[in-house]
Amino acid sequence: MTSLHKITIHHRQAGRTITFDVPDGEYILRSFESRGEQLPFSCRNGCCTTCAVRILSGEMDQTAGIGLSKEMREKGYGLLCVAKAIGSLEVETQDEDEVYEMQFGKDLGSMKSKAGSPFDL
């Protein structure tokens, strides 16, 4: 018999909290979608930050994700699209730009760039 894990998602953009029991090893995003819940995502490959969440408690298996740095994962962020249920979990959706800026802002901020179309430069 497969064990179930209580997964709670605080969907900030929608202003609601959603909780479901997800079978061990199942993809969390897919499980919530199968119940009619629409959560933020884009690539479904763990490469972008659209589905980024901050882990409030618990843990998830996100070994398939490459879109977050080791430092961001250590700070408690994860990618919901590649996350598998491995225990009870409580997460909060994040603004994609917020996570992107935390991860890449320091590097992009030091780049010399000029406003305008790249074809006009």
CATH number of the domain that 12 lies in?
3.10.20.30
Q: How many beta carbons lie within 10 A of that of residue 19, not counting itself?
A: 12
* 26 has a pLDDT exceeding 90: yes
pLDDT of residue 19: 98
pLDDT attached to residue 43: 85
Phi, psi values for residue 99, rounded to 5°:
-70, -40
Q: Judge whether 10 lies within some domain.
A: yes
Half-sphere exposure of 104 (CA within 13 A, CB side): 11
Strand ranges of the sheet holding 16-23, from the earlier edge strand across to the other edge: 16-23, 4-11, 84-93, 52-61, 77-79
**In which domain, by residue range, is 102 found?**
4-108
- The verdict on residue 115 lying in a domain is no
